[in-house]
Copies of this chain bind each other. A is one copy, B any other.
Amino acid sequence: MPRLKLTIAYVGTNYCGWQIQAFSRRPQPTVQEELERVAERVLGTPVRIFGSGRTDSGVHAEGQVAHFDVPEDKADRDWQRTFNAMLPDDIAVLDVERVASDFHARINATGKIYAYSLWLTRRYTPPRLFPFVWATGPVDVAAMDAAARHLEGTHDFSTFRNVGTEVETCVRTLRSISRSPHGPLPGADTPDYARVGIPLQLTWYFEADGFLKQMVRNLMGTLVACGTGKLSPDAVPSLLAACDRAQAPATAPAQGLSLARVLY
């Protein structure tokens, strides 16, 4: 059967994450359920949609990827229009592509990029940004950059992994941690943000060949601990070497995180 690759954006605030929870008693749906519901209604048969991986409850996506199979006579349908007409407003299909029938959204992924945004004053958070940032207050960006340099590379990331998912190894290659430059604010073209004058939103990007459970949120929690003076960047190598989650600072909140892109 023809296979379709979906690129999906969502605001995760009202979802219990990407993946369908077995035996869930929670009232919130998952993004996967919403997509499957549309596909099933169109195809008249149960459909499984395979994502590149889970996102936690409350985490957003700008470029989640998933695949599913459709009968040949339904393959050329305008699936993007169909999905976007029937999905809730907080989920959008950005792109639909016909791919080889052995393409697999999870298995073929060669890497992922996650974005994590901070808001750097505690005086106020702009209501538009509230669902998408962690309002940490001011941070020492240079200290965070120094800590980031220790985290990049191939390591056992057990220290930054929450338990709950079986994995064969905790070794991952964190290709890069970068951040947005001190440039204009998103929304800087509106007069009132412009007068703030300094960039109060900063976004960090984490690119790796794969991520462990809550790894980005745990890495970000450690970067912010360095940025707020609670942890020295020099302590990061021993933290990493300890392979002990209990030693690392607290997990950063879900709302600042977004799955920016899946690489193939």
**CB neighbours of A187 from chain B (8 A):** 62, 186
Chain A residues 74 to 92 lying within 8 A of chain B, measured CB to CB, are 80-81, 84, 89-92
Which B residues are in CB contact (< 8 Å) with A127?
9-11, 89-92
Within 8 A of B (CB), among A85-137: 89-94, 113, 115, 123-128, 130-132
Check if A45 is an interface residue, CB within 8 A of chain B: no
Q: How far is the CB of A8 from chain B (nearest CB, A)?
A: 10
- Give bound CA distance, A212 to B203, whole Å: 40
How many copies are assembled? 2
CB <8 Å contact, A132 and B123? no
Q: Which residues of B contact A131 (CB under 8 A)?
A: 89
CB of A263, distance to nearest CB on chain B (Å): 9
Query: Contact between B125 and A260 (Cβ–Cβ < 8 Å)?
Result: no
B191 near A260 with CB under 8 A, answer yes
In this complex, which of A90, A113, A187, A203 has the most chain B Cβ atoms within 10 angstroms of its Cβ?
A187
Interface presence of A193 (CB below 8 A): yes
A178-210, CB < 8 A from B: 180, 186-187, 189-193, 203
| Nearest CB of chain B from residue A118's CB, rounded to whole Å | 14
The range of chain A's interface size is: 35 or more
CB proximity of A220 to chain B, nearest CB, Å: 16
| A192, closest chain B residue (CB) | B63
Residues of B within 8 A of A55 (CB): none
Q: How far is the CA of A127 from the CA of B91 in the complex (A)?
A: 6
Residues of B within 8 A of A89 (CB): 125, 127, 130-131
Known: A192-B62, A192-B260. A84 touches B123 (CB 8 A): yes
Q: Report which A residues bind B (CB closer than 8 A).
A: 7, 9-11, 60, 62-63, 80-81, 84, 89-94, 113, 115, 123-128, 130-132, 180, 186-187, 189-193, 203, 258, 260-261
Q: Can you sample 30 A-B contacts with CB below 8 Å?
A: A7-B192, A9-B127, A9-B192, A11-B127, A11-B128, A62-B187, A62-B191, A62-B193, A63-B190, A80-B124, A84-B125, A89-B125, A89-B127, A90-B127, A90-B130, A91-B127, A92-B124, A92-B125, A92-B126, A92-B130, A94-B124, A94-B126, A113-B191, A128-B132, A186-B186, A186-B187, A190-B203, A190-B260, A192-B260, A192-B261
